[in-house]
Amino acid sequence: MEISVIGTGYVGLVTGVCLADLGHQVMCIDIDKEKIGTLKQGISPIYEEGLSDLLKKNISNKNLSFTSDYKEGLRGKEVIYIAVGTPQAMDGSADLTYVEKVCKSIARYLENDAIVVTKSTVPVGTNEWIKQTIEGNLQKDIEIKIVSNPEFLRQGSAVYDTYHGDRIVIGSEDAEALNILESINADFSIPIVKTDLRSAEMIKYASNAFLAAKISFINEMANLSERIGANIDHVAAGMGMDKRIGNAFLNAGIGYGGSCFPKDTRAVISIAKEADYEMPILENVVDSNERQRGIIVDKMMSRFERLKNKKVAILGLAFKPETDDIREAPSISVTEKLLEAGAEVCAYDPAARRNAEKVLSNKVAYADSVSEAITEADIAVILTEWKEIKKFPIEDYKKYMKSPIIFDGRNCFTLEEAKDSGAEYHSIGRPVVR
């Protein structure tokens, strides 16, 4: 089919590339001209495994192209995906400014009937508003059908997830549009949930809110385990064997981050407020996660009276492994707190340095490897469980550090490994090893 994808971020670019790889004619549109210039050369502006190869392959076989010109990008397109950001507004609600601009551009430049598919995460009722906004600004007598197709990919495994996700959700009030979207998605061989617009929008928010709650739940159990002498590894393993609970998302740590969970949980609370309904569980999930981000620095503060002039190596800046994204990453607030306390910070991340440099204070020094970051450091803090960081042998910390003291916010090592290493090891929800 002739497809347009508007927005070439993590969701839009991966969607566009994968649809092109299925054999569709895909044109990706973005207002960021620099990004479009980079993409036209076959260079991915984001780090996602497998993306670069698929990008190059589909540009060269002419299934995929890029533009910042809406007129060119929408010409003759039958299906138009919206995949622009919906960041958090000041009041916690989803900011629909980018989506609104896209609607107006579609209305201005589209010259034929088309199905508009919303991939962006948007509050319940937004797809109806999208339809009205486009129709209200149309300059031609054409028909718009609307489908909600929320995205569930995980950054770090976005391409894999597009082909192997658990389900694809498509919602519409229009049976024909729903069937066309079903046939496009059938090629991914993933179970498809067909529903109405509002339920599709709600499935996305309810899923993210549930996952955020699961993370906060295990984090609170970890904090309690520390205080009563239990080991969260054993607790989580024992809980996860119960099929009703499941073992995914039971890794205790310093809280969730990224561009989705923090804003989506707050958006659900805001949607509920508008519906005159309180959601005490989710309000507490948000507060609990805020507190969790601070606990690794609290642990350091209670171990050392002062952090002034201490050399601290931060290992991992991305909000999770396998991505260069640092949006809402715990590393940002941890670094700020450490600098405030007068520590000297040297950070290492396999992929997120470029993004971190734009956000973090210029007082932060950067290293090119784990060993370089921890050399002569007083303290090592693990904030992202990158494979490279997990694989760096814990017994090697003493070769590089003045005296190995590790604060592990992601429980990368077992307590047995820590005991054998000779390092002082503080983790989440487990006894300290000295």
Which residues are known catalytic residues? 260
Tokens 């039971």 belong to 250
**Of residues 264 and 378, the one with the C-beta less far from ligand NAD:** 264
Q: Are 2 and 76 in contact (CB under 8 A)?
A: yes
CB atoms within 10 A of CB 179: 13
**Of residues 30 and 322, the one with the C-beta less far from ligand NAD:** 30
**Of residues 23 and 87, the one with the C-beta less far from ligand NAD:** 87
Name the residue among 307, 297, 299, 306 with its Cα closest to residue 332.
Answer: 297
Rule CB under 6 A: say whether 349 interacts with ligand NAD. Answer: no
Rule CB under 6 A: say whether 155 interacts with ligand NAD. Answer: yes
Calpha distance 320→316 (Å, rounded): 8
Q: Are 157 and 387 in contact (CB under 8 A)?
A: no
Stretch that binds ligand NAD, among 148-156, 229-237, 289-297, 405-413 (CB under 6 A): 148-156
Q: Report 302-321 residues binding ligand NAD (CB under 6 A).
A: none
Binding mask 197-216 for ligand NAD (x = CB under 6 A): --------------------
Calpha distance 263→268 (Å, rounded): 9
Q: Report 66-125 residues binding ligand NAD (CB under 6 A).
A: 83-86, 98, 101-102, 119-121
Calpha distance 434→426 (Å, rounded): 9
Exposure of 224 in the CB half-sphere (CA atoms within 13 A): 9
Q: Tell me how far, at minimum, the Cβ of 97 lies from ligand NAD, in Å.
A: 8
Q: Looking at the chain, how many residues does it have?
A: 434
| C-alpha Rg value of the chain to the nearest Å | 23
Q: Report 33-62 residues binding ligand NAD (CB under 6 A).
A: 35
Among 67, 259, 333, 421, binds ligand NAD (CB under 6 A): 259
Among 1, 25, 32, 129, binds ligand NAD (CB under 6 A): 32
Calpha distance 24→44 (Å, rounded): 20
Q: CA torsion angle for 318, 319, 321, 325 (degrees, to 10)? A: -60
Rule CB under 6 A: say whether 31 interacts with ligand NAD. Answer: yes
Q: Which two tokens stand for residue 335?
A: 């670094």
Among 3, 4, 5, 9, binds ligand NAD (CB under 6 A): 9
**Of residues 258 and 316, the one with the C-beta less far from ligand NAD:** 258
Q: Tell me how far, at minimum, the Cβ of 144 lies from ligand NAD, in Å.
A: 17
Rule CB under 6 A: say whether 30 interacts with ligand NAD. Answer: yes
- Percent of the chain as helix, strand, coil, to the nearest 5: 45, 15, 40
Element (DSSP H or E) covering residue 288: helix 280-303
**Of residues 212 and 260, the one with the C-beta less far from ligand NAD:** 260
Residue ranges of alpha helices (H) inside 304-431 are 330-340, 353-359, 370-374, 387-391, 397-400, 415-421
Q: Tell me how far, at minimum, the Cβ of 214 lies from ligand NAD, in Å.
A: 17
Stretch that binds ligand NAD, among 29-37, 159-167, 188-196, 357-365 (CB under 6 A): 29-37
Cβ-closest residue to ligand NAD?
A: 9
Q: Tell me how far, at minimum, the Cβ of 149 lies from ligand NAD, in Å.
A: 11
> Both ends of the chain: CA-CA distance in Å?
62
Number of residues this chain uses to bind ligand NAD (CB under 6 A): 27
Instruction: List contacts with ligand NAD (CB under 6 A).
Output: 6-12, 29-32, 35, 83-86, 98, 101-102, 119-121, 151, 153, 155, 259-260
